[in-house]
């Protein structure tokens, strides 16, 4: 494997871009490998600037559930591109996209398009505060809701990867109304609501925490959040930027049968192009300007290229059969990875749901931030580098998910499992 061109590009990037990357986890620092620079992708494979080919389990961090360069998605974008890239004026496809989201997501009666998951989460929080007239919000340790100031309290993703507890640049006054509680600890939520429930505007949660690896909700946790929000007049916000359209056509809320008041979306609804959205009950969403007085705006919101890619993606996902197929594929892959870990004598806890998964290098179980943090990141770094050598690209951080997609075939899964047998032996030896 030759990485000379990626190395040269990285050296150039470091002179022009902080850390040489436009998002921290891409740097590869957490796994001891300089970043690959990708030239192209097709199906479940990516090719770097040196011509090395990898089976990809990042999929642009989730949105490419159908794989790279899906023909229907590319055709939809190409058709719209020929007419223009952006107008800043309403287009027909925004209505079509909104209708599709409302049809598919159980809790959403109205939806507002934005440009990122971060923007969706911060807008949903602002709406919740404006709607309830309250200031406090509850979030959970290890759940990442983007980099908006008030949500960077004990978050997951890159903050966890790099050991950053919050971030400089966020004054205490901004986060004083944010309460961070342990994920899956319903009693802590109930105690907190007993004390300050009348001041809480919303509880925001990843229904499946996918930014500290993958951590599933304990039985009754989501239902308990729904109940306590209802009892205390607070809104329940599901951050489904990762789980939306990934676990089921209607996301985690369909999968678990729990209906939030507001939902944050992203990733898949842009088909790989920058996008986000938040939506919910009509009486709540009508408080957003210009209908209401909670202001939120975006010049490129509802961009026709992103809408065309996302709509093509959702139309395919709505045909049926894909989610059952993804569940089988991920089950097969994780069973093989578990066998590889056992054969090598390496303690690995595999958490998975639908097409999401994470292998924690710890005996486990992993149920919250505290138990996730016990994972051996150095061992994961060895595993990552050994897998890259064997043509498999995983998330370059222990505390991120891997994504199985429709483009992964059994042959790809078998190659991945075989690579894992060899890579885990190397982990054991080191």
The pLDDT of residue 161:
44
Which one of 264, 285, 317 terminates a domain?
Answer: 317
Q: Are residues 47 and 127 in the same domain?
A: no
The active-site residue, picked from 144, 183, 323, 393, is: 144
Distance CA 185, CA 279 (A): 26
The active-site residue, picked from 139, 267, 329, 412, is: 267
Q: Are residues 92 and 197 in the same domain?
A: yes
Q: Are residues 289 and 349 in the same domain?
A: no
The pLDDT of residue 157:
52
Which one of 254, 284, 317 terminates a domain?
Answer: 317
Q: Are residues 220 and 95 in the same domain?
A: yes
Distance CA 225, CA 55 (A): 38
Which one of 274, 297, 317 terminates a domain?
Answer: 317
Distance CA 112, CA 103 (A): 15
Residue 267: active-site member = yes
Q: Are residues 310 and 345 in the same domain?
A: no
Instruction: Report the CATH number that the domain containing residue 204 is assigned in CATH.
Output: 3.40.640.10
Instruction: Report the CATH number that the domain containing residue 414 is assigned in CATH.
Output: 3.90.1150.10
- The dihedral region occupied by 418, where left means phi > 0, alpha psi between -120 and 50, and beta the remainder, is alpha
In the chain, how many domains are there? 2
Tell me whether residue 317 is exposed, middle or buried, using C-beta atoms within 10 angstroms of its C-beta: 0 to 12, 13 to 18, 19 or more.
buried
The pLDDT of residue 422:
98
The pLDDT of residue 350:
98
Q: Are residues 35 and 87 in the same domain?
A: no
Distances (CA, A) of 231 to 181, 193, 303: 19, 10, 39
The active-site residue, picked from 29, 56, 154, 239, is: 239
Q: Are residues 203 and 350 in the same domain?
A: no
The pLDDT of residue 171:
74
Q: Are residues 108 and 96 in the same domain?
A: yes
Tens digits of residue pLDDT in 274-314: 999 999 999 999 999 999 999 999 999 999 999 999 999 99
Tens digits of residue pLDDT in 16-59: 999 999 998 899 889 999 999 999 999 999 999 999 999 999 99
Can you state the angle between helices 322-344 and 410-429, rounded to 10 degrees?
A: 30
Q: Are residues 407 and 271 in the same domain?
A: no
Tens digits of residue pLDDT in 117-132: 999 999 999 999 999 9
Q: Are residues 235 and 325 in the same domain?
A: no
Q: How far apart are the first and last CA of the chain?
A: 21
On average, the pLDDT of the chain sits at: 94
Q: What is the pTM of this model?
A: 0.94
Residue 239: active-site member = yes
Q: Are residues 260 and 376 in the same domain?
A: no
Mean pLDDT to the nearest integer, 263-268: 95
Domain that holds residue 97: 71-317
Tens digits of residue pLDDT in 86-120: 999 999 999 999 999 999 999 999 999 999 999 99
Q: Are residues 178 and 212 in the same domain?
A: yes
């Amino acid at each position: 494997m030759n990485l000379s061109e990626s190395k040269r590009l990285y050296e150039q990037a470091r002179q022009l871009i902080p850390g040489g990357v436009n998002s921290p986890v891409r740097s590869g620092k957490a796994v001891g490998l300089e970043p690959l620079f990708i030239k192209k992708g097709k199906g479940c494979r990516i090719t770097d600037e040196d011509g090395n080919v990898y089976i990809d389990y990042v999929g642009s961090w989730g949105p490419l559930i159908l794989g790279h360069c899906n023909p229907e998605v590319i055709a939809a974008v190409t058709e719209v591109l020929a007419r223009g890239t952006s107008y800043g004026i309403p287009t027909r496809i925004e209505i079509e996209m909104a209708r599709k989201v409302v049809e598919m997501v159980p809790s959403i009666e109205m939806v507002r398009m934005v440009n990122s998951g971060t923007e969706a989460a911060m807008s949903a929080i602002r709406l919740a505060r404006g709607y309830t007239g309250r200031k406090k919000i509850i979030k959970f340790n290890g759940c990442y809701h983007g980099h908006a100031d008030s949500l960077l309290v004990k978050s997951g993703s890159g903050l966890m990867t790099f050991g950053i507890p919050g971030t400089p640049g966020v004054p205490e006054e901004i986060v004083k109304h944010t309460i961070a509680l342990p994920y899956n600890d319903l009693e802590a939520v109930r105690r907190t609501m007993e004390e300050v429930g009348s001041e809480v505007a919303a509880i925001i949660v990843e229904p499946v925490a996918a930014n500290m690896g993958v951590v599933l909700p304990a039985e009754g946790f989501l239902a308990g959040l729904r109940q306590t929000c209802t009892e205390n007049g607070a809104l329940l916000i599901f951050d489904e930027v990762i789980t939306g359209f990934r676990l089921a056509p209607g996301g985690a809320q369909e999968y678990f049968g729990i209906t939030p008041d507001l939902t944050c979306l992203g990733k898949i609804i842009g088909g790989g192009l920058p996008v986000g959205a938040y939506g919910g009950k009509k009486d709540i969403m009508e408080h957003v300007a210009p209908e209401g007085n909670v202001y939120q705006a975006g010049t490129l919101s509802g961009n026709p290229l992103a809408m065309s890619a996302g709509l093509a993606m959702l139309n395919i996902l709505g045909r049926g059969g894909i989610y059952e197929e993804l569940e089988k594929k991920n089950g097969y892959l994780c069973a093989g990875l578990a066998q590889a870990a056992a054969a090598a004598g390496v303690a690995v806890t595999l958490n998975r749901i639908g097409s999401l998964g994470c292998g924690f290098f710890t005996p486990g179980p992993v149920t919250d931030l505290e138990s996730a943090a016990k994972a051996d990141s150095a061992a994961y770094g060895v595993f990552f580098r050994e897998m890259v050598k064997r043509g498999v690209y995983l998330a370059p951080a222990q505390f991120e998910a891997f994504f199985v997609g429709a483009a992964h075939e059994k042959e790809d899964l078998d190659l991945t499992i075989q690579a894992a047998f060899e890579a885990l032996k190397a982990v054991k030896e080191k």
